Every structure is written in structure tokens, then in C-alpha cells.
């Protein structure tokens, strides 16, 4: 009886609420060559094969049911990872792509994931882990990846809802997209929707704080440039107007 009443109330609530799209921003991260861009292209309905490495980042906008999704596909090279934090404040959730076949870099993957999930602007947000390249020989199984990454401990420490999906991004795209990727993305978006108001408030607050910090840094850089110019001008002025007199030789 309770279940029936609950369903009726839920139906009434949905009926009362106007249908509207939900805007969500996601960051897609992972080591270089993990298959991030191939995954995004498959979700877009484009062929994910023969993908060039992402330099910096690429931005993708797509429609997923009631969701208007923006995905920042962030390059995974060591030199590029430093920019990831610039996108955390506006993200509602994270897609972390793991190369399941690259066993030699699993510790690097673990360290990178710990750094991402432990960041104060990511901790507490839902995380989808795509264990990619399951088609490769020697690819780690789901249980092995969970163990190698200490995933359970990591998500508990940072209070992140987490789902792991073994997948192969290069097999299928669009309507034939790998089912695990599709299921994982649906899971991520639905969990964001469940706590959308709180996450949205957090995103707005974090984004405002980051913009304030960036504005302050911009002012400080401008001040340093101004001082440097004044110093150069002063040195130049002294050299032209107050030349050092040649030392007169003592008899």
C-alpha cells in the first residue's frame, strides 16, 4: 500500500513540475591514450577510430534525453594535467577513463585518480569509471581494476558515489554505442539529477570563488608587469641622463 501511494505521489509531483531540460557539465579525465576522446566521439555518434591525442582540451555539447550535457575532454599528458583543476568548479560529475590493458601505468592511474577525487572541488561529486579497452589481450577485469586502484577506499574517503563500467570505446557508436558506456552515462546523469539542486548551488559557489581568485591573480600579474616596466624605465632614464663619469686616474 505504501509503495502504491509513493508511486502516486511521485507521479503527481512529476505532473505538477513543468518539463524542462537539465544542464550538466562533466569533466572527462584519465591518462593520455586511455581512450577519452574515442569515448566522447562514440557518445556523439561519430566513429571513434583513428583519434588524434587531445592537446589541451576539447569541449563537446550533446543532448541525452532531458539532459543538455557539456563534456570537457581534457588531455591526459603529464604536462597538461595541471590545467584539469581549472574545470573542476563547474563540473557536476566526473568521467574517469582507464586503459585496462596498460598494466604498467596502473599505479600512475591510481595516483592520478586519487588526486582528482581528493580535490576539494571534486570530492563528493558522482564519478563514473570507464574501464576501457576490454577488447585488448591482457586487459584487467573489473575486480582487478577495483583492487589495483583501491577504488572502494578512495571513493569512501572522498564521499563520491561511484560506478565502474568495463567497456570498449572503439566498438560501436551512436545507437550502437557500447552498452556499458551508455549505462554508465545514464547512471551518472541520473545520480546528478537526484541531487541536482545541491550540486548546482555548489557549482555556482565554486565557480564564483574561482573567478574571484583568477581576477585577483590577473590584477597581481598586471601589477607585477607595471612595476617591471617602471623599473626598466628608471634604469633606462639613469643610463641616458646620469651616465657614470669615467674614473679619473690617480696620479
Residue 67 inside a domain? The answer is yes
Do 179 and 78 lie in one domain? The reply is: yes
Q: Say how many domains are in the chain.
A: 2
Instruction: Please tell me whether 149 is known to bind a ligand.
Output: no
Quote the CA–CA distance of 61 and 220 in Å, as a whole number.
34
Q: How confident is the model at residue 52 (pLDDT cuts 50, 70, 90)?
A: low
Is 34 among the annotated ligand-binding positions?
A: yes
Q: What is the pLDDT of residues 166-189, one digit of tens each?
A: 999 988 877 788 899 999 999 999
Torsion angle, alpha carbons of 157, 160, 166, 171, to 10: -140
Q: Specify whether 119 is located in the same domain as 30.
A: yes
Report whether 32 belongs to an annotated binding site: yes
Rounded to an integer, what distance in angstroms lies between the CA atom of residue 108 and that of residue 197? 34
DSSP structure string for 83-98: GGGGGTTT-SEEEEEE
Confirm or deny that 134 is annotated as ligand binding.
yes
Residues 201 and 186 occupy one common structural domain:
no
Kindly state whether residue 248 falls inside one of the protein's structural domains. no
> How far apart are alpha carbons 210 and 232 in whole angstroms?
33
Q: What is the mean pLDDT of the chain?
A: 85
In the chain, DSSP finds a helix count (H) and a strand count (E) of 7, 6
Residues 122, 32 share a domain: yes
Q: What is the CATH number of the domain that holds 138?
A: 3.40.50.300
Domain annotation covers residue 5: no
Q: Is 35 annotated as a binding residue?
A: yes
Are residues 34 and 138 both part of a single domain? yes
User: In 3-state terms, what secondary structure has residue 28?
Assistant: strand
State whether 186 and 208 are in the same domain.
no
- Polymer length of the chain: 251
Contact 71, 62 (CB under 8 A): yes
Percent of the chain at pLDDT > 90 equals 63
In a shared domain, residues 67 and 121: yes
In sign, the C-alpha dihedral spanning 9, 10, 13, 14 is negative
Q: Is 132 annotated as a binding residue?
A: yes
Residue 1 lies in a domain: no
For 84, the domain range is: 20-194
Q: What pLDDT digit, counting tens, does each position of 206-250 carry?
A: 999 988 877 777 787 877 887 878 777 777 777 777 665 444 444
Distance of alpha carbon 3 from alpha carbon 16, whole angstroms: 20
| Residue 31 clears pLDDT 90, i.e. is over it | yes
Query: What is the DSSP track for 116-157?
Result: HHTSTTTTTS-EEEEEE-TTSTTPPPHHHHHHHTTHHHHHHH
How confident is the model over 135-156, as a mean pLDDT? 96
User: How sure is the predictor about 5, in pLDDT bands with cuts at 50, 70 and 90?
Assistant: very low
Q: 194 among the known binding-site residues? A: no
Consult the annotation and say whether 135 binds a ligand.
yes
54 carries a ligand binding annotation: yes
Q: What's the pLDDT at 53?
A: 62
33 is in an annotated binding site: yes
The pLDDT score that the predictor gives to residue 10 is: 44
| 76 annotated as belonging to a binding site for a ligand | yes
Q: What is the pLDDT of residues 62-119, one digit of tens each?
A: 998 899 999 999 999 999 999 999 999 999 999 999 999 999 999 999 999 999 999 9
Backbone φ and ψ for 99, nearest 5 degrees, come out as: -80, 100
Q: Considering the domain boundaries, does residue 9 fall inside one?
A: no
172 is in an annotated binding site: no
109 within some domain: yes
Same domain, 107 and 186: yes
Do 182 and 149 share a domain, yes or no? yes
Higher pLDDT: 172 or 191? It is 191
Q: Domain check: are 54 and 158 in the same one?
A: yes
Amino acid at each position: 500500500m505504501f509503495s502504491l501511494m509513493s508511486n502516486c505521489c511521485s507521479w503527481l509531483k512529476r505532473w505538477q513540475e513543468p518539463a524542462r531540460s537539465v544542464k550538466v557539465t562533466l569533466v572527462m579525465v584519465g591518462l593520455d591514450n586511455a581512450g577519452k576522446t574515442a569515448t566522447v566521439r562514440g557518445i556523439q555518434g561519430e566513429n571513434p577510430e583513428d583519434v588524434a591525442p587531445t592537446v589541451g582540451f576539447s569541449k563537446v555539447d550533446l543532448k541525452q534525453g532531458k539532459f543538455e550535457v557539456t563534456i570537457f575532454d581534457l588531455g591526459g599528458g603529464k604536462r597538461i594535467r595541471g590545467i584539469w583543476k581549472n574545470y573542476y568548479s563547474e563540473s557536476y560529475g566526473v568521467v574517469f577513463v582507464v586503459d585496462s590493458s596498460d598494466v604498467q601505468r596502473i599505479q600512475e592511474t591510481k595516483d592520478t585518480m586519487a588526486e582528482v577525487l581528493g580535490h576539494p572541488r571534486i570530492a563528493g561529486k558522482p564519478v563514473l569509471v570507464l574501464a576501457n579497452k576490454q577488447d585488448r589481450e591482457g586487459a584487467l577485469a573489473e575486480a582487478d581494476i577495483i583492487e589495483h586502484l583501491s577504488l572502494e577506499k578512495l571513493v569512501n574517503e572522498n564521499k563520491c558515489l561511484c560506478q565502474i563500467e568495463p567497456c570498449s570505446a572503439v566498438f560501436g557508436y551512436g545507437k550502437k554505442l557500447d552498452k556499458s558506456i551508455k549505462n554508465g552515462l545514464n547512471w551518472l546523469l541520473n545520480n546528478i539529477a537526484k541531487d541536482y539542486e545541491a550540486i548546482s548551488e555548489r557549482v555556482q559557489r565554486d565557480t564564483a570563488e574561482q573567478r574571484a581568485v583568477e581576477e585577483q591573480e590577473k590584477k597581481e600579474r598586471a601589477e607585477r608587469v607595471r612595476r617591471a616596466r617602471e623599473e626598466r624605465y628608471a634604469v633606462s632614464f639613469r643610463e641616458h641622463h646620469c651616465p657614470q663619469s669615467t674614473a679619473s686616474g690617480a696620479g
